[in-house]
Structure 1
Amino acid sequence: MKPDIYDHFHRDERDFVDRAWEWVVNAGQYHEAKLTDFLDPRQRFILESLVNRAPDVHAVYSGGHPDAERVRAFIAPDYRDLANEDMGMKVLSITSSDQKLGELEHGDYMGSILGLGIKRSKIGDIHVLENGCHAVVSEDISAYLHLNLSQVHRVHVMTELLPLDKLQVSPVTLDTMEITVSSMRLDGIASDAFRISRAKIVVPIKAGRCRVNWKVEEDPSTPLKEGDVISIQGFGRFKVLETGGLTKKGRYRVKVGKYA
């Protein structure tokens, strides 16, 4: 591993950088193909940047639909045609006759799937629908989930495995709010978005539990900009939707959207 590669990434990302670089080297030097588990947007960015360093390697990415947040990557020598590669994904359809099904949220489905001993990297996007849920999952664990997932947050459910072309995608819903802040600092905007004091929001940020655009951010004073996605473990996730002008008192107008 060349030291300069590390210069662009957070120290917590180095394990993934090492693995991704190994995939790229194996494809370029040893003509090996690699189908990864699901990557978050930050991991995809890292992998793409490493692939771009290797002129004899290329990759394709898919998460089941064009706007997927989590995707799998297929990495191979540049002479290999990747147009029709099998990305190894299934749709896990979850339904129930219980009227409480409509009360279930994204975290309920995620928690129940992970509670079966499944790694997060085996799960793609989860789409909560009016009549249940469609989860994109790695094909190698799909049969296990189909056989063993029988309950989601005390609601008894039924499952079915579907091909990707049957995937139903749920629209992203955001609970929007307009705030005014003295600066565009991470801690100031996050404290208003989550409605807690700045002193309390600083703790998880400095502890490494905050990500800005899926990258670990430990500096509370980091400036945010329009389009940034911020997640703090234990609090949730929001997006900076708009940054307006200044108020008469010199405060910034900011519109944020909290993910449901």
Structure 2
Amino acid sequence: MTIYQHFRPEEHEFIDKVLGWKQIVESQYAPKLTDFLDPREQKIVQSIVGNHGEISVSFFGGTEQAERKRALIFPEYFSPEEGDFNLILFEVTYPKKFIVLEHRNVLGSLMGLGLRREKYGDILADGDCFQFFVTNEIKDYVKMNLDQIGRASITLEEKPLHEAVQTKEIWRERMITTSSLRLDTILSSFTHQSRQKVQNQIKSGLVKVNWTTVEETSFECDEGDVISVRGIGRSRIMSVNGKTKKEKWRITIGTMN
């Protein structure tokens, strides 16, 4: 049995990358810091590296509640501290009386700088206050080039990490039943849309599972998967609770409040 059998085929490329990071730490006996990883990628890194033996891993994304975090893979002699993750927190200053910004505006402008999503951490919002995390190595580039978000002229102010806006995810859980664990079947059940409409959304690239676009309607979902549909929102499969007497799956779905 190989390590790949524990993961989905589309994750094998990332697994190769993680094995490479681990090998570098083992051969150089020095810590390796990654870019920002989504929660699924963090779980894979934790599974492969673990914290048993000569190599360990720690995660940090600027706050304890962060969704996107950098991984620090390190040998046993090393004791990681917050500063080792090389994170920068920017706060957006803009004319709040005249302009309304949304999360998608901030993300869109960041992606418009030509850098990969992995260089950016969480985007935090508290009313009309927006902050975001970046890796230290791109902070000067971002500060020099990001001067507009949407129609708003903006400036960026670097803040200490402890001044990060506190956000909290609240999931509202409910039980659904489906005939299978296929993506289109589950989506149809909890969004109350027809199977045909859901399949069109999937094929059009509007659906992500674990932060990765999935265009295969028969994609097999599993416990813990996070499913997001553009324009609808995000849900998580909290648990798969077995089958009913009529051979339908009982699933607990969490939706963002």
Per the normalisation by structure 1, the TM-score is 0.78
How far apart, CA to CA, are the structure 1 residues paired with 2:17 and 2:252?
A: 38
Contact kept, 8 Å, 1:64 with 1:164, in 2: the verdict is: yes
Cα shift readout 1:49-88 (whole Å, capped 9, x = no counterpart):
1113872101211011111111001111112222455211
Gaps of 5+ in 1: 245-249
1:124 counterpart letter in structure 2: G
Tell me, what secondary structure is at the counterpart of 2:46?
A: helix
TM alignment of 1:64-213, pairs within 5 A: 64-83=62-81, 85-101=83-99, 103-172=100-169, 183=179, 185=181, 186-191=183-188, 193-194=190-191, 196-203=193-200, 205=202, 210-213=207-210
How far apart, CA to CA, are the structure 1 residues paired with 2:186 and 2:199?
A: 11
How far apart, CA to CA, are the structure 1 residues paired with 2:159 and 2:48?
A: 33
1:142 counterpart letter in structure 2: K
Gaps of 5+ in 2: 242-246
Count of residue pairs the alignment pairs up: 252
1:5 and 2:10 are equivalent in the alignment: no
In structure 2, the partner of 1:39 is 37
- How far off is 1:197 after superposition? 2.3
Q: Which moved more, 1:25-34 or 1:202-211?
A: 202-211
Contact kept, 8 Å, 1:96 with 1:132, in 2: the verdict is: no
1:12 counterpart letter in structure 2: E
- How far off is 1:30 after superposition? 2.6
How far apart, CA to CA, are the structure 2 residues paired with 1:77 and 1:180?
A: 45
Per the normalisation by structure 2, the TM-score is 0.79
Contact kept, 8 Å, 1:178 with 1:253, in 2: the verdict is: no
How far apart, CA to CA, are the structure 1 residues paired with 2:217 and 2:238?
A: 21
- How far off is 1:181 after superposition? 5.1
In structure 2, the partner of 1:58 is 56
Contact kept, 8 Å, 2:96 with 2:128, in 1: the verdict is: no
How far apart, CA to CA, are the structure 2 residues paired with 1:59 and 1:182?
A: 38
- How far off is 1:190 after superposition? 1.5
In structure 2, the partner of 1:247 is none
1:197 counterpart letter in structure 2: S
Contact kept, 8 Å, 1:28 with 1:54, in 2: the verdict is: no
Cα shift readout 1:160-206 (whole Å, capped 9, x = no counterpart):
111212211233367x6978655474424423544542123235557
With over 3 angstroms needed to count, the CA separation of the structure-2 counterparts of 1:211 and 1:26, relative to structure 1, is same
Tell me, what secondary structure is at the counterpart of 1:25?
A: helix
- How far off is 1:216 after superposition? 7.5
1:22 counterpart letter in structure 2: G
How far apart, CA to CA, are the structure 2 residues paired with 1:214 and 1:115?
A: 19
